[in-house]
């Protein structure tokens, strides 16, 4: 079996691996806490589709760089260490990547070098950038969680030009999105949907949704008791096609009421149940 434990900096050098051979597809690989060097790739490993990559807690160097991310695919990736993790998936789907970085400001950058995509990205701690070249599978999901600080452990940036994200689940942290999101469930934390629209979003107790774009910024927004919808982070004209406000929901807006005082925000179908009788 090739791969195994990486014992020196260059991934593409056979003698740097515990097996004496460079990893190939279906291999399991480990970056241990004992490796005191940055991980680089001198060769083309883009055809490699690993079963597992495990970056151990206690590994304190970098895995690739922002300018030269490491390019390969892995069915399951666990990143618990490093001072920066930079990866681009290649020609197959990366099923799951779990990010539990050493600190909330430890950078992570994920993208795709070709037609491969990501199915599930779990962000529990770190500063995570999902780059403009990232691709998601049809059921692709980003999950934003936390470890010890629900509000501060994670910040995720979904870059402009990125593939449409089919599913987002937030249980903490902050996310800023400049790409389209199809469906989001916000149980905690703050989603700032900046320049692109969101199709359907549910905002639960303790969560916050900021819609900062212009034109039609959302198709369906449902805000439950304790949730917050904020349309006034930017002074732009906005339309929400359908909005449900349940008792206890908070909304910050400048509504455009037909026949009354003009405002910035048009709600085409409003179901305000906060004072329903």
CB 121 within 8 A of CB 134: no
pLDDT tens, position by position, 174-221: 999 999 999 999 999 999 999 999 999 999 999 999 999 999 999 999
Q: What is the pLDDT of residue 14?
A: 98
d(CA 157, CA 258): 37
User: According to the model, what pLDDT value does residue 218 have?
Assistant: 98
pLDDT of residue 105: 98
Under 8 Å between Cβ of 142 and 123:
yes
**SS3 of 130-184:** ECCCCCEEEEEEEEECCCCCCCCCEEEEECCCCCCEEEEEEEEEEEEECCCEEEE
Backbone angles phi, psi at 16, to 5 degrees: -80, -10
pLDDT: which is higher, 30 or 93: 30
* Residue whose entry in the numeric block shows the structure tokens 């329903």: 276
Would you say 134 and 118 are in contact if contact means Cβ atoms under 8 Å apart? yes
What's the pLDDT at 262?
79
Residue 7, number of CB atoms within 10 A of its CB: 15
pLDDT one-digit tens code per residue, 253-264: 998 865 566 789
Q: Dump pLDDT digits (tens) for 134-184.
A: 999 999 999 999 999 999 999 999 999 999 999 999 999 999 999 999 999
User: 97-147: per-residue pLDDT in tens?
Assistant: 999 999 999 999 999 998 899 999 999 999 999 999 999 999 999 999 999
């Amino acid at each position: 079996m090739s791969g195994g434990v990486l014992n020196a900096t260059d991934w593409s050098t056979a003698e740097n691996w515990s097996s004496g051979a460079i990893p190939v597809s279906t291999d399991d690989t480990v970056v241990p806490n004992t490796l005191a060097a940055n991980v680089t790739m001198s060769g083309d490993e883009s055809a490699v589709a690993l079963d597992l990559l495990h970056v151990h807690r206690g590994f304190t160097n970098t895995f690739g760089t922002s300018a030269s991310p490491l390019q390969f695919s892995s069915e399951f990736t666990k990143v618990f260490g490093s001072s920066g993790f930079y990866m681009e998936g290649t020609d197959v789907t990366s099923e799951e990547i779990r990010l539990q970085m050493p600190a909330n400001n430890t950078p992570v950058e994920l993208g795709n070098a070709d037609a491969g995509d990501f199915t599930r990205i779990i962000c529990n701690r770190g500063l995570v950038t999902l780059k403009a070249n990232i691709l998601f599978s049809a059921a692709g999901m980003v999950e934003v969680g936390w470890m010890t600080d629900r509000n501060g452990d994670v910040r995720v940036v979904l870059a402009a030009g990125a593939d449409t994200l089919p599913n987002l689940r937030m249980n903490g942290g902050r996310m800023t999105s400049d790409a389209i999101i199809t469906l989001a469930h916000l149980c905690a934390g703050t989603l700032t949907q900046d320049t692109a629209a969101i199709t359907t979003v549910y905002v639960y107790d303790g969560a916050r949704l900021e819609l900062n774009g212009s034109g039609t910024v959302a198709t369906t927004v449902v805000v439950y008791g304790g949730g917050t919808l904020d349309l006034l982070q930017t002074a732009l004209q906005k339309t929400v096609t359908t909005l449900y406000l349940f008792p206890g929901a908070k909304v910050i807006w400048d509504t455009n009421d037909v026949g009354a005082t003009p405002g910035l925000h048009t709600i085409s179908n409003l179901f305000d149940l906060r004072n329903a009788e």
